[in-house]
Amino acid sequence: MKAIQVAIGVAVNGNAEVLVALRAPEQHQGGLWEFPGGKVEPGEDVESALAREFLEEVGLRVLQSELLYEISHDYGDRRVALTVFLITSFEGEPRPKEGNPIEWVTLEQLKALAMPAANRPIVEAVLERLGLERVVE
Ligand SMILES: Nc1nc2c([nH]c(=O)n2[C@H]2C[C@H](O)[C@@H](COP(=O)(O)OP(=O)(O)OP(=O)(O)O)O2)c(=O)[nH]1
Ligand SMILES: [Mg+2]
């Protein structure tokens, strides 16, 4: 089975909170919290997919991002290859453009959220990246 390429982003605000969205019940991995993002279209590069999905799903314009983590995961019914970006600069106020509730959550809250299985190491990477940054400041 070929892996579906997915671009997702972890947007961080000035309060060190990250943006999450609730997946609709009928979606794959529905009812779980996610980082906004979606499938890379044919011929599209992964950064363009990130920017497009952020605009479509939460109405944010990505100004600056860096690669945070890459992970492939087999859900049994589907294999996904996730490219995860840390979004360090963006424009706009997040809005739930596709009807899925969105929230800014602290890193403590993030740890406790029910997310798809592939997200566990992603959350670890977020905590490490943002935690270390604070030590450096
Ligand atoms: N967006 C997102 N997808 C994730 C995360 N973790 C994870 O395993 N996935 C999986 C679920 C899906 O199988 C796939 C992403 O698909 P998606 O439903 O967001 O794709 P999309 O926005 O293009 O939606 P659609 O047009 O196909 O409805 O990656 C995550 O944190 N965010
Ligand atoms: Mg999506």
Q: List the pLDDT tens digit at each of the 137 positions of the chain.
A: 799 999 999 999 999 999 999 999 999 999 999 999 999 999 999 999 999 999 999 999 999 999 999 999 999 999 999 999 999 999 999 999 888 999 999 999 999 999 999 999 999 999 999 985 555 54
Looking at all shown ligands, the one closest to residue 40's CA atom is: 1
Q: Is 60 in the pocket of ligand 1 (CB under 6 A)?
A: no
Please report the pLDDT score of residue 134 as a whole number. 53
Report how far ligand 2's centroid is from the alpha carbon of 130 (Å).
Answer: 24
Please report the pLDDT score of residue 85 as a whole number. 98
Q: How many Å apart are CA 118 and CA 27, to the nearest integer? A: 16
In the chain, what are the domain boundaries? Answer: 4-136
Q: Is 86 in the pocket of ligand 1 (CB under 6 A)?
A: no
Class of domain 4-136: alpha beta
